């Protein structure tokens, strides 16, 4: 790393830790130990990041709330809390991708299996407003990626540091929650190889052979809006992906450097626990 880059990283780290020291402690509230529901929704996105093929998928939308001591499931996802302090949490992080079949760019190449990513996430609570309506975090998940098949194989590691801003009752809309998340993506060579390498036997005049390297994979920005009503939950999101500057941007399988995707859902509450527990607000 060059000296200017090292100084820049040092300034960023110093700023983050200064903000961390000024972050206020979390308040607490009571929620049921568990609650579940089921609904429907739809998502529209590309077959893989950079693909020119997109699909709309109707999906069942499960609603799950669980406030166990070590395992939690809420609007931040399903996670296991390994370490929890007012300003620092070490959680388990999960991500996944859909299978890719009959994609135009990959015509004649093997289909891509779904992938599952699992690993720890160090989350820093940089800011909490006194009324707990505004939360600003830095989330740093490091995950190992596996193919979902009869004999899973490891396809590398991903690192996706994100700044996350949560705002309750945005613009005076009581009960709604606004989420804003953005940050860069990084992955090792094996992960990029799985999605973007073109082996010589699959090369064509329009799709030359290519070997994807590891490193920077572009950025993502996600905006979400949701509300929990007494008997149902509604939510929607929009995501902006930018691959400009990504190490694999020259792959012939990358056909678009930027694009939007979106989704929405609604779930109806089925049952909830009569046991209430105290959780951070």
Tens place of pLDDT per residue across the chain (281 aa) = 444 443 343 443 333 333 333 333 344 567 777 888 899 999 888 889 999 888 888 888 887 777 766 665 555 555 555 555 678 888 888 898 888 887 788 989 999 999 999 999 999 999 989 888 999 999 999 999 999 999 999 999 999 999 999 999 999 899 999 999 999 999 999 999 999 999 999 999 999 999 999 999 999 999 999 998 988 999 999 999 999 999 999 999 999 999 999 999 999 989 887 887 766 55
Q: What is the pLDDT of residue 260?
A: 92
Spatial neighbors of 46 by CB under 8 A, at least 6 apart, are: 52, 53, 54, 241, 256, 259, 261
Task: Copy the structure tokens of residue 68.
Answer: 């166990």
Among residues 130, 126, 159, which one has the least CA distance to residue 145?
159
Spatial neighbors of 7 by CB under 8 A, at least 6 apart, are: none
Under DSSP, is residue 64 helix (H, G, I), strand (E, B) or coil? strand
Among residues 202, 184, 266, 241, which one has the least CA distance to residue 51?
241
CATH of the domain at 143: 2.40.230
Spatial neighbors of 105 by CB under 8 A, at least 6 apart, are: 51, 52, 53, 207, 252, 253, 255
pTM across the whole model: 0.79
Q: What is the pLDDT of residue 37?
A: 87
Among residues 204, 202, 160, which one has the least CA distance to residue 182?
160
Per DSSP bridges, beta strands 154-159 and 176-187 are antiparallel
Degrees, nearest 5: CA angle 192-197-202: 155
Q: What is the pLDDT of residue 88?
A: 85
Number of domains in the chain: 1
Q: How far is CA 222 from CA 48, 179, 200, 237, 250, in A?
A: 17, 8, 36, 7, 25
Yes or no: say if 21 and 4 are a contact pair by the CB < 8 Å rule.
no
Q: What is the pLDDT of residue 110?
A: 92
Domain interval for residue 79: 3-280
Q: What is the pLDDT of residue 105?
A: 87
Yes or no: say if 49 and 217 are a contact pair by the CB < 8 Å rule.
yes
Q: What is the pLDDT of residue 11?
A: 41
Distance separating alpha carbons of residues 107 and 99, to the nearest angstrom = 14
């Amino acid at each position: 790393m060059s000296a200017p880059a090292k100084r820049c990283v040092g300034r960023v780290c110093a700023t983050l830790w200064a903000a961390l020291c000024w972050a206020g402690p979390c308040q607490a509230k009571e929620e049921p130990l568990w609650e579940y529901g089921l609904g429907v929704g739809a998502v529209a996105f590309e077959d893989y990041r950079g693909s020119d093929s997109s699909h709309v998928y109707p999906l069942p939308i499960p609603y799950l709330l669980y406030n166990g001591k070590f395992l939690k499931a809420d609007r931040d996802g399903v996670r296991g809390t390994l370490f929890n302090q007012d300003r620092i949490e070490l959680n388990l992080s999960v991500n996944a991708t859909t299978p890719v079949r009959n994609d135009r760019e990959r015509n004649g190449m093997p289909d891509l299996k779904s992938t599952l990513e699992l690993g720890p996430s160090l989350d820093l609570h940089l800011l909490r407003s006194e009324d707990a309506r505004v939360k600003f975090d830095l989330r740093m998940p490091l995950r190992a990626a596996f193919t979902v098949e009869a004999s899973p194989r490891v396809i590398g590691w991903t690192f996706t540091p994100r700044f996350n801003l949560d705002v309750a009752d945005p613009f005076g809309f009581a009960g709604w929650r606004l989420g804003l998340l953005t940050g860069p993506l990084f992955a090792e060579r094996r992960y990029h190889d799985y999605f973007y390498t073109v082996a010589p036997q699959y090369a064509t005049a329009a799709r030359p052979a290519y070997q994807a390297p590891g490193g920077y994979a572009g950025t993502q920005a996600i905006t979400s809006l949701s509300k929990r009503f007494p008997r149902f939950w509604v939510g929607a999101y929009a995501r902006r992906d930018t691959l400009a500057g990504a190490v694999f941007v020259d792959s012939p399988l990358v056909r678009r450097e930027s694009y939007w995707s979106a989704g929405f859902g609604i779930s109806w509450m089925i049952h909830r626990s009569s046991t209430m527990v105290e959780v951070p607000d």
